Chains A and B, each alone.
Chain A
């Protein structure tokens, strides 16, 4: 057991820190803050390209696909330092952390060489088309149809909650190819360029005021046979593999929770109560709540390291515990942030200046206990797959 960096890891951490300090400048943050929509994505594509050039974007991927063959521990260092540096949102996570690892495992050689390097460098943005209006948690019941006609698959149906679809280049889409087989044995996964004819993408307004996720309508969308990933009718394994990586990916939120804890302490330190007589940090009730989330943030960070050492690369059902724990904690912490804001003197414009940002982040935190399988679904998985309870 070694709960500290090895010499090599410490060197690498210093490199990452220095690199981030040099590249995440105040000017960069201001420029980024001023962007919106597609411009924002282009800005982030450039950022992802720089991370890639610095050897940080896909550290533990095989060199053949643009990685550095580094152990998972180094990827964790990258994520820790990105969180500590308040790095911009990782819009490439769906491609980099969910779809690409699945492609490495299940896709053809041709697909690997075609798609992986572009994902790594941030040249292509990817999205995930699983959920449908009538089938969310019960994913295997989905009804979007793909029918093989004259050497092409013709896809019809509707997807929803598709994150970044309106800005993305590709969608990893799950559709039904076999209506005779049991629900989860009749699905196939397709790589669909979102510029394909017949695709209509409509952004949805989220509770946090952003428009990240979309409805997608598919009307006789044609894709070639080589758009299939994995086996025909073998889409379920593709989906399950992606969900495993997705839940592990979401658990890096644990590092963000540690950073959030530091920020909450900072807020409580500098913020006065309404009567101006005390700092929030001196209120026993505030200290109690901060302590409680601080403990859980420590757990989230330690769990990330322990489970990484345990699983030896491939995510298993333990990622459901990480996903459940960190997303629920993230929600609790953001609710606490609003409590802190509420206790402060909001007649003071300075105290108010960060209020709406905390409000937005609070609202955003609700999405994460739903996306990637709801907390209830994670509890089902934990009880069935880790504890072996009957379905």
Chain B
């Protein structure tokens, strides 16, 4: 085993971190949340230029042909900065089109994705769409990330016709507003406007050429779970940094509050939890690229723990800040709000723990 980043991966990490620090400052995130800025595009363009949007796109289609680990590196930085970009859904969509699309479909979408010209949303994993007795596609999902501004919507559809429970097709919808109803879904997470409730209304775009088998569906689930987990890890790292910094600055009873053991031990436990999450997250991302048979369990584990640890750290950060933590003036609340949405946008809270409990014997 060599559980550390290679030199190349470390360079990619440095690139991602400095890019995000430059193009996604907290003042801008806040302005975006207040509806006063559309800087998203600048960040999106910078990510594309550095090759991140095309991490899972082959070089022949203008991508960088990297892997989910490298996409995860970008996601960690984006999560830390509370970046309002639909990186995960677009990455998952690029992966599906690359795997299942015809040459024509690949040419049509992949280079645009890699170049940052379009963004995508995805529904149906979990809860695939199905066909009703008349053959019309049915399905509804909420909240869906990037529902409002996606150029492309992918719908995962259960293929009941084949009689195989583990067979899916994937439909691409370009004219989203005509094919579905998209209702605004206002959430407390203002760092990502544009969540929506999507209901299919019959028309359902064009299927990708290939169909998705059980392994492919599991890969998609793993990408979404581990991708979301690494984004949450990024947030948790920032939250602990914030809490720690405040604990050293804030003086009460003549001492920095970080000298009180109640605070110290809370932060020590946070670090232990965070490092555990870190191990799980990178192991899951690595497995997606290198050990697909292990990926579903590894990704569900990472996400189950992220759902719990990221929330714990974000919540305790408010407590450690005292009264100021309850104001909208500092960033602490933004992380709690974001985590709560992360916990439900890729499946209801608890879904990953349920999955693990169902697969308990395989964990041993």
Residues of B within 8 A of A46 (CB): none
Residues of A within 8 A of B356 (CB): 291, 294-295
The answer to whether the Cβ of A4 comes within 8 Å of any Cβ in the partner chain is yes
A4, A261, A262, A299: the one contacting B290 at CB < 8 Å is: A4
Tell me if A387 and B1 are in contact (CB < 8 A). Answer: no
Most buried by B among A2, A3, A281, A388: A3
The B contact surface, by secondary structure, is helix
- Complex Cα–Cα for A324 and B280 (A): 18
Q: Which of B136-144, B157-165, B198-206, B256-264 binds A?
A: B256-264
The answer to whether the Cβ of B328 comes within 8 Å of any Cβ in the partner chain is no
CB of A207 to closest CB in B, whole Å: 25
- Complex Cα–Cα for A284 and B350 (A): 14
A265, A295, A309: the one contacting B305 at CB < 8 Å is: A295
The answer to whether the Cβ of A214 comes within 8 Å of any Cβ in the partner chain is no
Residues of A within 8 A of B248 (CB): 388-390
Q: In residues 238-268 of chain B, which contact A (Cβ within 8 Å)?
A: 244, 247-248, 255-256, 258-259, 261, 263-265, 267-268
Tell me if A383 and B272 are in contact (CB < 8 A). Answer: no
Residues of B within 8 A of A287 (CB): 357, 360
The answer to whether the Cβ of B36 comes within 8 Å of any Cβ in the partner chain is no
B259, B275, B304: the one contacting A390 at CB < 8 Å is: B259
Tell me if B304 and A295 are in contact (CB < 8 A). Answer: yes
Most buried by A among B2, B4, B248: B2
Tell me if A262 and B364 are in contact (CB < 8 A). Answer: yes
The answer to whether the Cβ of B214 comes within 8 Å of any Cβ in the partner chain is no
Chain A: interface size category = 35 or more
The answer to whether the Cβ of B195 comes within 8 Å of any Cβ in the partner chain is no
Tell me if A288 and B357 are in contact (CB < 8 A). Answer: yes
Residues of A within 8 A of B363 (CB): 261, 291, 294-295, 298
Tell me if B276 and A299 are in contact (CB < 8 A). Answer: yes
- Which B residue sits closest to A324, measured CB to CB? B272
**Given A291-B360, A306-B279, A383-B271, 15 further pairs, Cβ under 8 A:** A1-B3, A1-B9, A1-B282, A4-B290, A290-B360, A294-B363, A298-B301, A305-B1, A309-B4, A325-B276, A380-B268, A382-B272, A383-B264, A389-B256, A390-B259
Question: Which of B's residues lie within 8 Å of A, judged by CB?
Answer: 1-6, 9, 69, 244, 247-248, 255-256, 258-259, 261, 263-265, 267-269, 271-272, 275-276, 278-280, 282-283, 286-287, 290-291, 301, 304-305, 353, 356-357, 360-361, 363-364
